[in-house]
Amino acid sequence: MEIQDILITPIYFLIIWFAARLIRARMPEGSVERKYFVPGLMVKLVGAIGVGVVYKFYYQIGDTLYYHEAGRIFNEVFWQSPQIYFQNLFSSFESVSAFFSDQFHRYGAVFLAGESTVIISKISAVFGFFCFGSYFSTALLFAVFSYSGIWALFITFRKLYPHLKTEFAIACLFVPSLFFWGSGILKDSITVSAIGWITYAVYHIFFLRKRILFSVLMILFWGKLLLLAKSYILIAFLPGLALWILFFSIKKIHNKSRRFILIGSLSVIIALGVGFNAGRIGEKIQENLIENVLDRAIMTSLWNATGYTESSQSAYELNIDKIDINSPGSILNLAPETIFLTLYRPFLWEANKIVILLSALENFIFLFFSIRLFLVRNPFRIVKKILSDPNLIFFLSFTLIFSFAMGLSSGVFGALVRYKIPMLPFFVASLFILYDRRRKV
């Protein structure tokens, strides 16, 4: 830990806490927002510091450290040549990559191997510029940036189901994996926030028809960041959003004949669209597989250089070599296994490290309440409730599509526990909604 971390981080923590208290004071007295705003932000800040402690002192290597180092190198250039600094900060991936290859040491150049790593390094540079090179202070600003989207998601969920107050606070703010892995100098902090803001914006545009301009700007800004950071999340997210808007519109049609005709027509269109785009879907999954394999290959070379092996990351196996990546039918055969794997594994006995064990405990709770749901509620009523609720269709379609993609491509539990967090608020919220007896099913 460097001296600026010790001196600056407590100051930034107190500034953020004080600013949060001022924002909270403007919220209505007795409101659920006022109750959870500061605690939700505080656990994010603790999560950001926790991620840094784990990677700095336990792993002693990791992508979060390299993002910060790359950002620090960006900022060093400012004092040499502000013109070159801004050129590289706003230049294309190819230009930045070439610049780093020419100017900086080996691991910085190797790690900036793709557009997604460059954009996180640039964000780290912008935040780090005001933190005097402090890793932990930069991580706190990442946590605040990420919290904005998580809070927007919580507000959206609350408007959809006003009576599920504490339940949605848990789903959005207090799931351990979410506030831990979604808070530091990581891609995941950005992607989680992007998902929250896009959901908020779509809800305001298509459902409330309010704040249209602001919502469009949010979609453009966060959609671009999500596309650059992890494009496959956007690909998995868009079908759920489309179904959400579609079924909300259908539910507003009271004439059963018109509703039946519309559902039938749209089903045909969707089926044709999937058929015509099957090859493209296969290509995107293949790109995701390649991207994650490449990420693991780069990190494996770094781990090996420090005596750290990927086997300690709890690898899992799938029969990927037996599937045809360009055949949707072949890929879908793995769906039940990969979805279950993402939602409920690693099991307790598969955890060989503290970090994995904590995720395994969380997964055990998810599995327990999922099984209990089908024991205490009529399965047919559960299905009926899902099909009659556009919100649940959205939540669960995103959960299932994203879980399928992550289980298929992550490869190791150490990566999976991080990669899956964008869908966790939707999955946990779905469980709460399905358990809720205060609404007629």
Mean pLDDT over 110-136 rounds to: 83
For residue 260, pLDDT beyond 60: yes
| Residues above pLDDT 70, as percent of the chain | 77
Report helix, strand or coil for 438: coil
Cα→Cα distances 393→147, 315, 388, 399, Å:
25, 32, 8, 10
For residue 302, pLDDT beyond 70: no
The one-character DSSP state at 28 is P
Tokens for 117, please give them: 């790593």
Q: Which residue has the tokens 């230009």?
A: 95
CA angle 404, 277, 114 (to 5 degrees): 65
Cα→Cα distances 322→318, 326, 327, Å:
9, 12, 12
The pLDDT-based confidence of 76 (bands split at 50, 70, 90) is confident
Rounded CA gap, 74 and 78, in Å?
7
Rounded CA gap, 75 and 36, in Å?
36
Tokens for 20, please give them: 């949060």
> Would you list the domain boundaries of the chain?
3-229, 258-435
Give the residue with greater pLDDT, 437 vs 109. Answer: 437
The pLDDT-based confidence of 73 (bands split at 50, 70, 90) is confident
Mean pLDDT over 367-381 rounds to: 92
Q: Single out the residue of 21, 121, 27, 22 nearest to residue 66, CA to CA.
A: 121
CA 160 to chain centre: 21
The pLDDT-based confidence of 91 (bands split at 50, 70, 90) is confident
**188 with 182: CB under 8 angstroms?**
yes
Tokens for 220, please give them: 């453009």
Q: Is the dihedral of CA 193, 363, 32, 211 positive or negative?
A: positive
Tokens for 363, please give them: 């997964």
R_g over Cα of the chain: 22
Report helix, strand or coil for 412: strand
Could you check whether the bond before residue 346 is cis, i.e. omega within 30 degrees of 0? yes
The one-character DSSP state at 186 is S
Mean pLDDT over 232-249 rounds to: 88
For residue 284, pLDDT beyond 60: no
Q: Is the dihedral of CA 356, 152, 403, 310 positive or negative?
A: negative
Rounded CA gap, 114 and 125, in Å?
17
The pLDDT-based confidence of 103 (bands split at 50, 70, 90) is low
- Cα dihedral: 261, 266, 271, 276 (round 10): 130
| Cα-Cα end-to-end distance for the chain | 54
Q: What is the chain's mean pLDDT, rounded? A: 82
Q: Is the pTM of this model over 0.75?
A: yes
pLDDT digits (tens, 9 = 90+) for 288-298: 544 554 454 44
Rounded CA gap, 337 and 353, in Å?
24
Burial of 18 (0-12, 13-18, 19+ CB in 10 A): exposed
CA angle 13, 54, 17 (to 5 degrees): 10
Q: What is the pLDDT of residue 287?
A: 55
**41 with 34: CB under 8 angstroms?**
no
Q: Single out the residue of 371, 390, 381, 380 nearest to residue 431, CA to CA.
A: 371
For residue 153, pLDDT beyond 70: yes
Q: What is the pLDDT of residue 306?
A: 44
**89 with 81: CB under 8 angstroms?**
no
Report helix, strand or coil for 172: helix
Neighbours of 279 (CB within 10 A): 12
**309 with 277: CB under 8 angstroms?**
no
Q: What is the pLDDT of residue 60?
A: 78
Least confident of 9-18, 351-360, 419-428: 351-360
pLDDT digits (tens, 9 = 90+) for 220-229: 999 999 988 8
For residue 318, pLDDT beyond 80: no
Give the residue with greater pLDDT, 373 vs 416. Answer: 373
